[in-house]
A and B are shown apart, each in its own frame.
Chain A
Amino acid sequence: MSAPDHHEHIVAPFDASVSFDELPDAPPSQAYWPSATGWIGIAITCFWFLIAIFGPWLAPYGENDLPFPDDYSEFQASREGAFLGTDVEDRDVMSRIMYGAGRTIGIAFAATLLAYFVGVVMGIGAAVSGPRVDMVLSRINDAFLSLPTIMLGLVVVAAVGSSIPVLILTAGFIYATVVFRLSRAIGMEIMVMDFVEAAKVRGEGRWWIITREIWPNARMPLITDFGLRLIYVILFISSLSFLGLGVQPPQADWGSMVRENLGALQFGESKLAVIMPALSIATLTVSINLIVDDVSAHGGGKLSKRM
């Protein structure tokens, strides 16, 4: 068949009864289903959360027990009864990691929850309040954001000493500044949408606008960001512990375990005492990141731009 002559009048066959409806808009995006890397992330994260909860019951020894009291020597290699060897004080590394899991993850999780509670309430509040309230809150927040988080942590620990509640409060408030900025930005973005204005024109009160118009739309991006923030809080807490300013010995915590056993790298018979806690943190944070990355890739990767 050759192309028709360009002066020809062509009418496609038609059925007079068929109406030409408006073509539908693009179909909605499919529901999120994790990819292979997403599943790996979910599996490892779940594994560590289970250890965090049940670790103390599952651990073969107490966190400060000596598995081989008769055979005292630091950094023993993997052997029967101490699968991952022993640490600088001849304690079982695996048991300490299992005890430490609860402490590291628990502190970070509590701190992230606190950061979210404070940050979201203040951030959404700033977004729906007048420009003056927003100005004041944002300026104060900017001042804190312009400090390196580790320095803020150091100053607080120097001032009031280190304990688990202090760590949770410190990390919670430091990261609340980041959450504030994010939820304020998301809130602002939604505030200028026509449907929020429509609610205002209808005469709806502030509470309705926050709970019914803004929150349902802000929820998803904030939940995805929660994972990301959890990673940074875990890294922050572990770094403080690693510097000796976080969880204090003899309590086990992954960051402080790395610090205690740093000597293993140079003169240990087994280096597992330093490798395993570091590896535990890395597998946890990397797997959470795999989930976050997978979810935000599904959502068009918008979130990664906000990072």
Chain B
Amino acid sequence: MYGLILRRLGIGVITVLAVSIIIFIGTKILPGDAAQIRLGQNATPENVKAFRERLGLDLPLYQQYLNWLFAFVRGDFGVSLASDVPISSLIADRYLNTVYVSVLTAIIGVPISLALGILAAMFPGSLYDRVLTFISVSLVAAPEFFTATLLVLVFVTFLGWGNAVVVGSAEGKGFFELIVHFALPITTLCFVIASQLIRMSRAAVLNVMSSPYIEMAILKGVPRRRIILRHALLNAIGPIVNVVALNLAYLVTGVVVVEVYFGYPGLATLIVQAVQTRDFVLIQGLGMIFCMTYVILMLIADIAAIASNPRLRHPK
């Protein structure tokens, strides 16, 4: 089993490298020259040339890539083209907002969704199950900004609680203050991941519940609670952890939309601005951060699936 996990880790590292190449080349085919963008249209060719040398843009492509990669590993993301500020300081002001919202969503959304999904699987075909399935089928296909709009209408417009945008700084707030501060973005994202999580965890448990060994447990007279807790959940844990990791990875997309919708500064709004201003150094750095998070979560999903297989955990 450890061999298999090491293999997955190895593939993970290769994937991150491949991702870095895609991002690097993707931003390299940008029409226009970084030095030109930086210095503006009025710069003399001599100035541009000197600036290119300073940025290392005259080096062969592979060397530029290696320089960039090693700098990235050291935590040096370069200097923003648009604002001439080191990217690390741009990020420092904003990353906490993104992290707060994602982590709080995970802490609140995942346990609730799992409980709802597993409960639905325990009573398949019941009214509760059907209503929950219908809601999650509907929500899973709805865009984040639709869910956000609904929430704003209900809570802000009709109930008059809070604001349609997130106002003020999150700095220095405690756990519960943070939840209140980011209530709408977190609730939106919870709905987004819940619909997937409920469906997939329900399916995972139902899949296990229809296996012959569950039928055998029923025929042995094992009580219902024990069938679910000991016989079914033990075998469903792997698929469920897998589902959780996949959905957290999906948050990466959700966070982008939610930050723009509620208009508070985070990494996602930063990358959208970077795209609008064609600040490719910033895109490179942020793109790598987002993609690495995503790759790591996918990797966890894979490893969870391996680790939960009893055949691999207890080899012959």
Interface of A toward B, CB cutoff 8 Å: 37, 142-144, 146-151, 154-160, 231, 235, 238-239, 242-245, 255, 258-259, 262, 265-266, 271, 274-275, 278-279, 281-282, 285-286, 288-290, 293, 301, 304-305, 307
Contact with A along B2-41 (1 / 0, CB 8 A): 0000000000000100110011001101110000000000
B30 and A158 contacting across the interface, CB-CB below 8 Å: yes
- Given the interface contacts A239-B144, A265-B156, A265-B164, does A304 sit within 8 Å of B29 by beta carbon? no
B295 and A245 contacting across the interface, CB-CB below 8 Å: no
Interface of B toward A, CB cutoff 8 Å: 15, 18-19, 22-23, 26-27, 29-31, 134, 137-138, 140-146, 149, 152-153, 156-157, 163-165, 199-200, 203, 207, 249, 252-253, 256-257, 260-261, 271-272, 274-276, 278, 280, 283, 287, 290-291, 294-295, 298
> Which one of A144, A148, A157, A289 has the highest number of Cβ atoms from chain B below 10 Å of its Cβ?
A148
B291 and A154 contacting across the interface, CB-CB below 8 Å: no
* Contact among A149, A245, A304 with B276 in the assembled complex (CB-CB below 8 Å): A245
B128 CB, min distance to chain A CBs, angstroms:
17
B contact residues around A266 at 8 Å (CB): 163-165
A155 and B287 contacting across the interface, CB-CB below 8 Å: yes
B15 and A278 contacting across the interface, CB-CB below 8 Å: no
Nearest 8 Cβ contacts at the A-B interface = A289-B141, A285-B141, A143-B18, A155-B26, A282-B146, A278-B146, A282-B142, A158-B275
A contact residues around B291 at 8 Å (CB): 146-148, 151
- Given the interface contacts A143-B22, A147-B294, A289-B138, does A158 sit within 8 Å of B278 by beta carbon? yes
B contact residues around A293 at 8 Å (CB): 137
Report the separation of the CA atoms of residues A276 and B276 in the bound assembly, to the nearest whole angstrom.
27
B contact residues around A146 at 8 Å (CB): 15, 18-19, 291, 294-295, 298
Report the separation of the CA atoms of residues A155 and B261 in the bound assembly, to the nearest whole angstrom.
20
Report the separation of the CA atoms of residues A146 and B29 in the bound assembly, to the nearest whole angstrom.
21
A-B contact pairs, 18 of them (CB 8 A): A142-B15, A144-B22, A150-B253, A150-B256, A151-B287, A154-B275, A156-B26, A158-B30, A158-B274, A158-B283, A159-B29, A231-B141, A235-B143, A265-B164, A266-B164, A275-B149, A288-B141, A289-B138
B contact residues around A154 at 8 Å (CB): 271-272, 275, 283, 287
Question: Which residue of B is nearest A149, CB measured?
Answer: B253
* Contact among A245, A255, A265, A274 with B272 in the assembled complex (CB-CB below 8 Å): A245
B143 and A282 contacting across the interface, CB-CB below 8 Å: yes
* Contact among A143, A148, A262, A289 with B294 in the assembled complex (CB-CB below 8 Å): A148
A contact residues around B140 at 8 Å (CB): 289
A148 and B278 contacting across the interface, CB-CB below 8 Å: no
B contact residues around A159 at 8 Å (CB): 26-27, 29-31
B143 and A281 contacting across the interface, CB-CB below 8 Å: yes
B290 and A244 contacting across the interface, CB-CB below 8 Å: no
A contact residues around B298 at 8 Å (CB): 146
A contact residues around B249 at 8 Å (CB): 148
B15 and A155 contacting across the interface, CB-CB below 8 Å: no
A278 and B294 contacting across the interface, CB-CB below 8 Å: no
A267 CB, min distance to chain B CBs, angstroms:
9
In the complex, besides A239-B253, A244-B276, A304-B199, 15 extra interface pairs with C-beta distance below 8 angstroms are: A146-B295, A147-B22, A151-B287, A158-B27, A158-B30, A231-B141, A238-B143, A238-B145, A243-B257, A265-B156, A278-B145, A282-B143, A285-B143, A301-B203, A307-B200
